[in-house]
């Protein structure tokens, strides 16, 4: 044991800094992020499938209409996500999006 009551061979843990870890990084500065509404397109497509496309006829390229609907929604979803990422001001400016873990809560 060292004179300070710590086990020998261990260095004391550094004291946490009170400064903001995100300081100096670009932020949005209150910019509107309306492009995030496009993320509702895949949700609506999948949610509407049983209501709108729940039938076998007509067949699209030889597959039932419901399956064609789900395939189309699966193809459209990543395109919508890509589009949102490109239109989002946070992506264009390289801004940091703080998450609760960044705030230094309980450790």
Examine residue 103 and state whether it is found in any structural domain, yes or no: no
d(CA 36, CA 86) in angstroms, rounded, equals: 11
**Band (36; pLDDT cuts 50, 70, 90):** confident
Examine residue 67 and state whether it is found in any structural domain, yes or no: yes
Examine residue 79 and state whether it is found in any structural domain, yes or no: yes
Examine residue 11 and state whether it is found in any structural domain, yes or no: no
| Span 15-31, average pLDDT | 58
Q: How many independent structural domains does the chain possess?
A: 1
| Span 75-95, average pLDDT | 83
Phi, psi of 2 (to 5 degrees): -85, 165
pTM equals 0.57
d(CA 7, CA 54) in angstroms, rounded, equals: 69
**Band (1; pLDDT cuts 50, 70, 90):** low
Examine residue 16 and state whether it is found in any structural domain, yes or no: no
SS3 68: helix
Its domain, for residue 58, covers: 34-94
pLDDT-above-90 percentage for the chain: 21
């Amino acid at each position: 044991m060292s004179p300070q009551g710590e086990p020998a061979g261990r260095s004391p843990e550094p004291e946490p800094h009170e400064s903001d870890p995100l300081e100096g990084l670009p932020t949005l500065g209150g910019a509107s992020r309306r492009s995030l509404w496009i993320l509702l397109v895949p949700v609506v497509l999948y949610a509407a499938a049983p209501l709108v496309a729940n039938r076998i006829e007509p067949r699209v390229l030889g597959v039932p209409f419901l399956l064609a609907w789900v395939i189309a929604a699966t193809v459209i979803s990543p395109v919508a996500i890509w589009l949102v990422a490109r239109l989002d001001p946070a992506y264009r400016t390289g801004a940091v999006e703080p998450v609760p873990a960044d705030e230094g809560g309980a450790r």
